[in-house]
Amino acid sequence: MDLHSFPMDKQSCPLILGSYGFPSDQLVYIWDRKPVTFNQKDFTLSQFDIVKTIYRNGTFLFKRGNHSMLQVNFNLRRHVGYFLIQIYVPCSLIVVLSWVSFWINREATSDRVGLGVTAVLTLSTFGLDSRSDLPRVSYATALDWYTVMCFLFVVFTLLEFAGVHYFTKVGTGEVPVIEIDDDWIKSSNDSDNSDDYDIDKNFNEIIDADYGFNEKLYRQRQLRRRRRQQLRSKSIITKSGQNYRSRLRIVQQRRDWLNNN
């Protein structure tokens, strides 16, 4: 059987009748003048349709001599309905379903990856099930190629999301190199740690006395936000003396503001 076109394949099943004991010079088989017919309604197959039958007679050569034989070929065509419902339609729907991830926000990483991985695993299951109805052949059939193409479509969907996520998060430009005075950073960190500790201590005392718990949390968030902005500004400072004095003035202004409020 040639299964390269499975499940759209056509098969020819020969039936040979003859005598092995009598050669052709003693016994000759000839079809009757009336063609051999049969009722296809009473002779049905679950997986094939009988397209036509071909009758012929001939002589076959064996070691013991020539023998007359009769041959009839049954040309069969496989039913595609089962594979259309069980394999083709589900695989197509899974591929279309994987394209839904294109309309999902790229920030929803878990949703898009989960949808793609589920589609890949489902197609793998369908591919294994389709091979269970086949004899063990060493070549790929038409159904195998269709399953592989569906699998590649789903994999490319995952790769597309991976590329979009990478280039939108990481980018392709070079990271700028910023020069920082190490001596100033060391000295400023020591002073900032002590100043920030005093500010936080006085600030918490004021909040505990005048405001409630929610107001305290709000002001702590505001203070942490200002501190983060202050730390980020360190990366662009290159002149240690002037910037250090300006930072001291900022700390003093913050202390005055806290004392007045």
User: How far apart are alpha carbons 56 and 72 in whole angstroms?
Assistant: 6
How many Å apart are CA 63 and CA 55, to the nearest integer? 25
pTM of the model: 0.57
d(CA 205, CA 210): 9
Written out in words, the top-level CATH class of the domain with range 82-169 is: mainly alpha
List the chain pLDDT tens, one digit each, 261 residues: 888 898 899 999 998 888 878 888 888 888 887 767 767 677 777 888 888 888 888 888 877 778 888 888 889 999 898 889 988 999 999 999 999 988 888 888 888 889 889 999 998 888 888 777 777 888 888 988 999 999 999 999 999 988 888 888 765 444 444 444 555 445 555 555 454 545 455 555 554 544 455 566 667 777 777 777 766 665 555 455 556 667 777 777 777 777 776
Residue 215's pLDDT is 61
Angle at 11 between CA 7 and CA 16, to 5 degrees: 160
Side chain identity at residue 105, one-letter code: N
Q: What are the domain boundaries of the chain?
A: 10-79, 82-169, 182-260
| H-only helix segments in 170-239 | 182-210, 213-232
Count of C-beta atoms within a 10 Å radius of residue 181 = 17
State how far the alpha carbon of 170 is from the alpha carbons of 114, 164, 165, in Å: 22, 10, 8
pLDDT at 155: 93
